[in-house]
Amino acid sequence: MSEDFFKYQQGYFSRAFISSTLNIINDILDSAAFQKFMGGAQSFFPDALKAFWREAQHMSHIPTCVLRGVLEQHTTPESLEMISNLLSKQSGSRLHDSQVHVYDAVGHPIYVKNRNGRILKNCDMGGAIQRTHHWSPLSEEVEYVKTNKDVQQASFDCAKDRHIFPFCDVNARFGIIGYAPGNEKTF
């Protein structure tokens, strides 16, 4: 593949350097991390989206709620600062949770238009915007990237149940999840 490119370079670089470079490129392309990345990237292709939506089954009476987050500078984890700044520059707005823009954080597809998407859009209850980042539900999973600054700011120390109870509450309102006896709410 890249041998033709390096053939011209033989006059400038040694055989050992070219071999090492080819080995490094092959190792990177064959690595598990690169393959996982490429495997996930194929879900963005139209054929993968068609397969996904072909198998999707949605009921028109089940509500969907979402949790939408917006970062605050003083609680952003150091590990998310670069990607947060990149997304801010790319979108022209700081209204995101470091990975998903607040306008894209909805309970239905935005860019794929089909029957399932219309069903989900009709079921979408929306969601209030909260001060949080994309990794806020995580604890043990982020221990290896947590810095002293993150600990001082309490970047990952938030109420984890706030990610679950809006979903439970919406489903309880519509009778999909029943309240425990004696704990009924009146709206």
Give pLDDT tens digits for 20-66: 988 999 888 888 777 666 665 556 667 777 777 777 777 788 788 78
130 pLDDT above the threshold of 80? yes
Percent of the chain with pLDDT over 70: 89
Contacts 24+ apart (CB under 8 A), 27-30: none
- What is the predicted pLDDT for the residue at 183? 64
One-character DSSP codes across 90-144? HHT---BSSSSBTTT-SSS-SS--SHHHHHHHHHB----EEE--TTTT-SGGGGG
Give 25 or 158, the one with higher predicted confidence: 25
Mean pLDDT of 125-147: 85
Q: Cα separation of 145 and 110, whole Å?
A: 32
Model confidence at 148, in pLDDT bands (50, 70, 90)? very high
Tell me how far apart the alpha carbons of residues 85 and 63 are, in angstroms, rounded to a whole number. Answer: 33
d(CA 94, CA 87): 8
Instruction: Read off the pLDDT of residues 14-28 as tens digits, 9 standing for 90 and up.
Output: 888 888 988 999 888
- When comparing pLDDT for 184 and 162, which is higher? 162
Task: Select, from the ranges 63-67, 147-151, 171-175, the one with the highest average predicted confidence (pLDDT).
Answer: 147-151
Give, in order, the Cα–Cα distances in Å from 19 to each of 4, 8, 22, 25.
13, 14, 5, 10
- 83-92 pLDDT, tens digit per residue, is 888 888 888 8
At residue 181 the predicted structure's pLDDT band, cuts being 50, 70 and 90, is: confident
